[in-house]
Structure 1
């Protein structure tokens, strides 16, 4: 009997064995070599949240400013530079209505800010100055609102219409401002707001890792004289939107005005809760959802609420979160922020360093 040749079998063995050997060598070299990934990625540090898991995010610190309040704004910005530990150099956006239109005015302000900071703290002074942006917004009285106080007779004539514009801006319009289109979170500050001690964590990181939609320091009340008609407005909206009524009635934190033993309560005399939202952190996309935008559109269609009765953004932010968010899952009280605002009293809680 002829003995079969081993040549084809050996050739086949070589054909299979050689690529496997090469593949083995390649994997050995690959896993024994450690390329400088950190050095490569360091170029993108401003866009990477290295301390967080999940998708990347963007953020901004926002103000609504007037040139007449430049001195207090400089103090506030200096406190942000010194005491707010952000892992990434997010922009500082100064919304204004025309005060800072001219380049010389902007240059003078930035020179004063550089002098105020005086030197590097958390960031170099040059880096911080370069993060400041001036963004103009246009404010016009809505259709149907008289252009004189005498004809409109607003509740708060001394601050009309500037303060009323501000309330409308922060209550509804800011979420759709073009400059914030690609921003995940904003942190709001007022010109008379100050951080007074270092914060021990990055608040944007807390919001992102905990997947919160709204971050706040404390809750107060807005006076009845500037919330006239607001309880009834919310009640009417809930009555026409059963899902909103269900959400409010299920909330442990929401309470409708109740009847007293002496008869019906005048709802216009009952204070409404409101966040101290001269400091707040907002996840913008959550406030752009269709059901919330429908609520905002409803507010805008009744401009007297803002421009005659001076409904504030603080109680409206409270109502909005109660109407559409799970307060335990979606909101975060941010502890440890030593913060000053002339009209706030916030009970302090301990600052605990955050570890994702």
Structure 2
């Protein structure tokens, strides 16, 4: 009897081994491949991580910046990177008026930022600098405002018109900026703002869990020299809007000037809003928008008398918010700004 050939069996075995080997190589290559991360953010989508479900809100950290203050901005961003415990690496938006228009300028700044912080953030798998966006603002003097200091004679000529533009921007325009259209909360920082120690909670989670519309650290006041006419302006608005007058009169923290006093000598309270967390939709309600429209119809308030965004933020929350239920003093945040004096209160974790 002829002995059967082993060739077909060998060929079959070899084919199986080769197929298995190729399959193993393919799986190894696929599992080790990670597509490159795109540094350019989509216009409105924040970063998300795959480790945790996306929260039911969106966030942006915002600055208004100038190239001449780049060094202190780098320090502020470094403190955000180290000490702000966010569950998601949200975008950081640098609003500017042209200083950062050119791509080489942006690239140089981001390279300096990477050098400053030493690579990735403490919380994110993404490089911290990849979260930064540059958004240009086009500021022009409103109709009716002279284009020279000599003709206008503003109260604060040394800072005109840049600081006055800033006050108008943060008082009214910020809420309607297209870049923030789909953002739930923003955290404002100034270039000379610094976190000094780790926070014991995510402040946005606090705002969301407690259903707050405005978060702050402290309250001071603006000097009467830069609030001339503001008390009369508020009084006139309240007189023509009974619901606003009723709200102010019912507030435990609102005080009208009383007695025989010159209103222009009475300071107006204001938040230290170089740090603030704002729920944007609450400042877009029709009744609030009407108040903002009234403000911008009197541009002299910003551009001649230098009404500030700090007292106007205080006035706005007093007019339209339940101060007990809708505002939150964010305790335990160790924060520095040259012009703030903050009484510290204990940091209590949201989830002990």
For residues 262-297 of structure 1, give each alpha carbon's deviation from its aligned partner in whole angstroms, at most 9, with x where no partner exists: xx1101000010000000000000000000000000
Q: Return 5+ residue gaps in structure 2 as ranges.
A: 1-47
The alignment status of 1:70 with 2:70, answered yes or no, reads: yes
Q: Return 5+ residue gaps in structure 1 as ranges.
A: 1-41, 50-55
The alignment status of 1:328 with 2:333, answered yes or no, reads: no
**Structure ranking higher in helix proportion:** 1
Is the 2:85–2:123 contact (alpha carbons within 8 Å) kept by the matching residues of 1?
no
Q: Which moved more, 1:78-87 or 1:123-132?
A: 123-132
Equivalent-residue separation in structure 2 for 1:45 and 1:121 (angstroms): 16
The alignment status of 1:342 with 2:338, answered yes or no, reads: yes
Shift of 1:119: 3.8
- TM-score, normalised relative to structure 2: 0.85
Shift of 1:352: 1.3
Equivalent-residue separation in structure 2 for 1:206 and 1:340 (angstroms): 21
The alignment status of 1:288 with 2:284, answered yes or no, reads: yes
Equivalent-residue separation in structure 2 for 1:207 and 1:123 (angstroms): 20
Q: Paired residue for 1:222?
A: 222
Equivalent-residue separation in structure 2 for 1:227 and 1:258 (angstroms): 17
Is the 1:119–1:125 contact (alpha carbons within 8 Å) kept by the matching residues of 2?
no
Q: Paired residue for 2:255?
A: 255
Q: Paired residue for 1:12?
A: none
Q: How does 1:2-81 map to 2 (within 5 A)?
A: 44=50, 48-49=54-55, 56-81=56-81
Distance 1:162 1:45, change over 3 A: farther
Distance 1:271 1:80, change over 3 A: same
Q: How does 1:95-106 map to 2 (within 5 A)?
A: 95-106=95-106
Runs of 4+ in 1 over 6 A off after TM superposition: none
Shift of 1:249: 0.2
Shift of 1:43: 6.5
Equivalent-residue separation in structure 2 for 1:308 and 1:85 (angstroms): 41
Q: Which of 246, 249, 265 pairs up with 1:269?
A: 265
Equivalent-residue separation in structure 2 for 1:353 and 1:93 (angstroms): 27
Partner SS for 2:215: strand
Q: How does 1:83-102 map to 2 (within 5 A)?
A: 83-102=83-102
Is the 1:155–1:226 contact (alpha carbons within 8 Å) kept by the matching residues of 2?
yes
Is the 2:119–2:127 contact (alpha carbons within 8 Å) kept by the matching residues of 1?
no
Partner SS for 1:87: coil
- TM-score, normalised relative to structure 1: 0.84
Q: Paired residue for 1:182?
A: 182
Is the 1:195–1:340 contact (alpha carbons within 8 Å) kept by the matching residues of 2?
yes
Partner SS for 1:344: coil
Number of corresponding residues: 305
